[in-house]
């Protein structure tokens, strides 16, 4: 068996960012940029008003708190238009938010401290030079690299690309994942359970884990414990970027998956990781397809996905950062570990001040799916240490974002 870290290193060594494609802004959210976005012009492209009010010369308002400042209104400028005249001393031009600053003006006074009287405006406070003026290029100047390869495309990135006139972005292609469940005991979700049967939950939980990342995923169905049936489904799945099978990778008489992988030419990179749950993990490659065989127990399958498949998918998408942050947490109960494997414990997590705290979600068997339902994170209990005691500090990764109540 190899360590979690060594197994992940071997997996990521095979996970190279996928080819580049051009995608519309509406379809690029969540993707990873493959090329830089360089500003072809300033943003904003011209000096403009940050307020509804009056464009004027700041000097004309000197001492406005002590004297009446009355300026002639020489024009009105709505957003999307330019002033028809240049501003002269003693004048003001009515202006709307976003409208270009008229020639000759150097400030804008907000409408709330003014009063229109016929064709004149009374200004009731002194205005500073440049006040309420958004300068050309104050957001972005022409030639600036605003987005770089490896950046994740979110709402702000979409917004700045749109402001610069980019209707499409060059991003890495999203992986296509195929999932195959194995085991004659499995039936589909909508089917009644017969003697000795259980429903196929692994395909759905791992499909959901894939969809949370925004990748394309397809469930091919269930392969019974028959060699040829297993081979047929796995051969079909090898046309994808990532093939995931659950079950059939241990050492039982009907565990055909590793043998079928060998038959299909999958080059094995690892089998068995020193972790609990999830020891019988198989990983290999075939013509660019990453092939994962995860254990059949539901928790072991989900933990294996979290620790190995998720980082690989993120790398295929072009992400630079593919691992969740590690936090130090205070454990609130004893956790034994007398095995030669790291025990991956599902925990509830909370913060008190700046300190993280954790407690287990209850029974930790690899088939107890509720231990994942209630989990905020994972704690890693080192191998061959006997375990940890309540009050010890442990390493923890979070599975969920932290929110606070409204």
pLDDT tens, position by position, 57-95: 999 999 998 998 999 999 999 999 999 999 999 999 999
State the CATH number of the domain containing residue 156.
3.90.105.10
For residues 275 and 368, membership in a common domain is answered with no
pLDDT tens per residue, range 195-224: 999 999 999 999 999 999 999 999 999 999
Q: Within a domain: residue 184? A: yes
State the CATH number of the domain containing residue 214.
3.40.980.10
For residues 282 and 335, membership in a common domain is answered with no
When pLDDT is averaged across residues 224-253 and rounded to a whole number, the result is 89
Q: Within a domain: residue 152? A: yes
When pLDDT is averaged across residues 391-395 and rounded to a whole number, the result is 96
Q: Within a domain: residue 63? A: yes
**Domain range for 230:** 4-17+174-317
Cα gap 129→143, rounded to integer Å: 28
52: tokens are 């509804």
For residues 242 and 341, membership in a common domain is answered with no
Distances (CA, A) of 85 to 72, 110, 116: 13, 21, 20
Please state whether the predicted TM-score (pTM) of the whole model is above 0.85.
yes
For residues 13 and 61, membership in a common domain is answered with no
Q: Within a domain: residue 223? A: yes
Q: Tell which of 122, 157, 172 closes a domain.
A: 172
Q: What is the pLDDT of residue 75?
A: 98
Q: Within a domain: residue 404? A: no
Q: Which helix (H) or strand (E) holds 312?
A: helix 310-317
Number of domains in the chain: 4
Cα gap 241→313, rounded to integer Å: 9
Distances (CA, A) of 66 to 48, 55, 114, 123, 125: 29, 21, 15, 11, 9
Q: What is the pLDDT of residue 249?
A: 73
For residues 211 and 264, membership in a common domain is answered with yes
Cβ 291 vs Cβ 284: under 8 Å? yes
Q: Tell which of 172, 193, 223 closes a domain.
A: 172
State the CATH number of the domain containing residue 338.
2.40.340.10
Instruction: Give me the sign of the Cα torsion angle 197, 201, 204, 207.
Output: negative
State the CATH number of the domain containing residue 78.
2.170.190.11
For residues 226 and 306, membership in a common domain is answered with yes
Q: What is the pLDDT of residue 404?
A: 78
Cα gap 1→125, rounded to integer Å: 77
Q: Within a domain: residue 25? A: no
For residues 253 and 296, membership in a common domain is answered with yes
For residues 129 and 37, membership in a common domain is answered with no
> What is the average pLDDT value for the chain, to the nearest integer?
95
Closest by CA to 376, choosing from 333, 336, 311, 329, is 329
For residues 297 and 212, membership in a common domain is answered with yes
pLDDT tens per residue, range 322-364: 999 999 999 999 999 988 899 999 999 999 999 999 999 999 9
Q: Within a domain: residue 23? A: no
pLDDT tens per residue, range 10-58: 999 999 999 999 999 999 999 999 999 999 999 999 999 999 999 999 9
Q: What is the pLDDT of residue 253?
A: 57
For residues 157 and 181, membership in a common domain is answered with no
Q: Within a domain: residue 370? A: yes
Q: Tell which of 259, 286, 317 closes a domain.
A: 317
Cα–chain center distance at 128: 43
For residues 217 and 278, membership in a common domain is answered with yes
Q: 255 pLDDT exceeds 80?
A: no
For residues 267 and 206, membership in a common domain is answered with yes
């Amino acid at each position: 068996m190899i360590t979690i870290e060594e197994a992940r290193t071997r997996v990521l060594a095979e996970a190279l960012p996928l080819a580049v494609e051009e995608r519309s802004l509406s379809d690029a959210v969540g993707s990873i940029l493959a090329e830089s976005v360089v500003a072809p012009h300033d943003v904003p492209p011209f000096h403009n008003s940050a307020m509804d009010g009056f464009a004027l010369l700041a000097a004309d308002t000197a001492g406005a708190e002590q004297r009446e400042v009355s300026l002639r209104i020489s024009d009105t400028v709505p957003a999307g238009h330019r002033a028809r005249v240049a501003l002269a001393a003693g004048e003001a031009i009515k202006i709307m938010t976003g409208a270009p600053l008229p020639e000759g003006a150097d400030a804008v006074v907000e409408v709330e401290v003014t009063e229109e009287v016929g064709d004149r405006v009374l200004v009731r406070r002194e205005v500073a030079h440049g006040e309420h003026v958004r300068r050309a290029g104050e957001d972005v100047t022409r030639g600036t690299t605003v987005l770089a390869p490896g950046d994740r495309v979110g709402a702000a990135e979409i917004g700045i690309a749109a402001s610069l006139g980019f209707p499409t972005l060059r991003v890495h292609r999203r992986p296509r994942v195929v999932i195959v469940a194995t085991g004659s005991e499995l039936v589909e979700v909508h089917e009644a359970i017969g003697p000795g049967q259980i429903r196929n939950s692994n395909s759905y939980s791992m499909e959901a884990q894939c969809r949370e990342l925004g990748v394309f995923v397809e469930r091919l169905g269930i392969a019974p414990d028959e060699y040829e049936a297993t081979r047929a489904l796995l051969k079909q799945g090898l046309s994808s970027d990532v093939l995931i099978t659950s079950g059939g990778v241990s050492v039982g008489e009907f565990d055909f998956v590793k043998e079928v992988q060998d038959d299909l030419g999958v080059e094995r990179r690892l089998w068995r990781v020193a972790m609990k749950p999830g020891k019988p993990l198989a990983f290999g490659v075939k013509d660019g397809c990453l092939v994962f065989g995860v254990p059949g127990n539901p928790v072991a399958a989900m933990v294996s996905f979290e620790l190995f498949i998720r980082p690989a998918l993120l790398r295929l998408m072009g992400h630079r950062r593919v691992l969740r942050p590690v936090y130090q947490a205070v454990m609130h109960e004893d956790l034994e570990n007398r095995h030669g494997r790291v025990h991956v414990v599902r925990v509830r997590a909370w913060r008190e001040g700046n300190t993280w705290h954790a407690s287990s979600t209850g029974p930790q068997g690899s088939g107890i799916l509720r231990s994942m339902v209630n989990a905020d994170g994972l704690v890693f209990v080192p191998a061959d240490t006997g375990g940890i005691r309540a009050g010890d500090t442990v390493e923890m990764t979070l599975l969920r974002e932290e929110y606070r109540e409204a």
